[in-house]
Amino acid sequence: MVDADALERGGIVLAVVVVAVLLGWVVFVVVPDDFAELIGVVLVLATVVVAARIGSNAAGSLVPAHNVAEVAVEGPITRDGGGGIASPPTGASADDVVEQIERADEDKGAEALLLKLNTPGGQIVPSEDIRLAAERFDGPTVAYATDVCASGGYDIAAGCDELWAREGSIVGSIGVIGSRVNAKDLADQAGLSYEQFTAGEYKDAGTPLKEMTDDEREYLQGIVDDYYDQFVETVAAGREMDDETIRETEARIFLGTEAHERGLVDDIGTRDDVEDRLEARIGEPVVVTEFEPERGLMGRLRGGAQRVAFAFGAGLASTVGGDVDGLSFRR
């Protein structure tokens, strides 16, 4: 089927080129005066080149060469991937990854989705957004853990039909962490004091410049516990495992082989093995194309402006997504 599609694409390109040659010859050689005839051949050749490119793009849209879309999730997961206007993202942008999966779902040729995971996890809601996008994909979805598939990365994998890993892949960390910096002693040494102007008993719970009370600690631990319960339920549903088996992992990480033994991974293999599995699922030879973010300079400018505006409105300590009043929650 792929060979037949290639012939059809070639036919489309050839047809577009032939039409362009005929039009170019008439417009630039036959009709114009003597001066135009001198440059007519050059213009015809230029027209052919442009037409070939247009025809190739049209053929790719009408008869795609691929049948599997690959989307990568690499690095810490945040809403916008970090980085700045002039610097590249430092991790996985959830918004970009979701956009890539949605484009793959709309793509005429993508019959299956290959989600390459190499991430230690990250922010909770952005990780869930990627998982939900994978669940919505209309076709088989196979996740492949390369080096690390932990925490939020494993949350994403739970939204796929299968999870593969290498023997040495690090898999697991099904847990949640809430953290804060205690800078009270440092502030005292610097002669700084903390004054609060709040409405609501727990509004400044976790603020770094004051000691946390037992009630505040219990309150914040309750939020972490709720996040953990949600995580366990998500993995249990996605992996078809019982809650207790997941809790017994105690948020530990495992090498791929042990993760497979525990049922956290469906199979162990190389990238070629994963493609063989996809071939069996879609019933034809696999041709993979990688989908990449479409966000350009204007998107990066908007992201940078949003971070600056938020910094002024909420304080620089809260500009890292998922942080609230000095607290950081991560999967």
**What is the set of active-site residues?**
151, 203
CA distances to 88, 121, 243 from 116, rounded to whole Å, are 20, 14, 26
78: exposed, middle or buried (Cβ count in 10 Å: 0-12, 13-18, 19+): buried
Helices 124-136 + 94-106 axis angle, to 10: 0
CA 237 to mean position of chain CA atoms:
21
* SS3 category, 149: strand
Taking every pair of C-alpha atoms in the chain, what is the biggest distance, in angstroms? Answer: 93
The answer to whether 238 touches 214, Cβ cutoff 8 Å, is no
At 209, phi and psi to the nearest 5? -90, 10
288-290 and 68-74 strand pairing: parallel
At 180, phi and psi to the nearest 5? -150, 155
In 3D space, the residue among 61, 65, 27 whose CA is nearest the CA of residue 285 turns out to be 65
Distance, CA of 53 to CA of 134 (rounded, Å): 32
Q: Torsion angle, CA of 115/119/122/125, rounded to 10 degrees?
A: 0
Other CB atoms within a 10 A radius of the CB of residue 10 amount to 14
Other CB atoms within a 10 A radius of the CB of residue 182 amount to 15
At 38, phi and psi to the nearest 5? -65, -35
User: Token pair for residue 251?
Assistant: 């948020």
User: Token pair for residue 326?
Assistant: 């000095």
